[in-house]
């Protein structure tokens, strides 16, 4: 039996190798955004304001849905606190393309898309390319699979 820890180690070592295990899902609470530090410490507001991934700082931390969210500035932290669902990534910060295929995968800051005012993250730049081939269809498939893939 494959454990969650083994899958996590596999996903850290090789997101594409993890993608090959498309039938496997991790069981976890929907409130957790990928790890105790949401989206690996990247400022989610930065995707909207700077149009690029911006590293956050623990000095500008907000707790929301069981995770610590880090921000580049107190202003970004305040914007998030005022409306977290506006800035938080869809699918709990997991790879949106993987969700559209029915499994979970971690993400990297550089593989992202804002579509219709929502942030979507991907595991790799290649996964982002595949995601972009049919964003509306992939969103619909991901929403159909979510949150069932959480276990």
pLDDT in tens, 13-24: 333 333 333 333
Q: What is the pLDDT, as a whole number, of residue 27?
A: 34
pLDDT computed for residue 90 by the predictor: 95
In total, the chain counts a number of residues equal to: 151
Residue spans of the chain under pLDDT 70:
1-35
C-beta separation of 39 from 61 below 8 A: no
What is the pLDDT at residue 2?
Answer: 37
Encode burial over 36-74: b for 16+ CB neighbours within 10 A, e otherwise: ebbbbbbbbbbbeeeeebbebbeebebebeebbbbbbbe
């Amino acid at each position: 039996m494959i454990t969650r820890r083994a899958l996590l180690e596999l996903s850290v070592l090789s997101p594409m190798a993890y993608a090959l295990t498309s039938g496997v899902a991790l069981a976890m609470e929907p409130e957790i955004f990928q790890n105790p530090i949401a989206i690996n410490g990247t400022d989610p507001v930065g995707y909207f304001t700077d149009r690029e991934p911006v590293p956050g700082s623990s000095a500008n931390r907000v707790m929301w849905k069981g995770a610590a969210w880090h921000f580049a500035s107190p202003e970004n932290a305040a914007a998030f606190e005022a409306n977290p669902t506006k800035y938080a990534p869809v699918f709990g910060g997991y790879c949106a393309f993987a969700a559209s295929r029915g499994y979970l995968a971690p993400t990297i800051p550089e593989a992202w898309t804002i579509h219709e005012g929502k942030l979507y993250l991907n595991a790799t730049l290649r996964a982002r390319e595949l995601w972009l081939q049919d964003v509306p269809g992939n969103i619909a498939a991901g929403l159909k699979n979510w949150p069932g893939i959480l276990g």
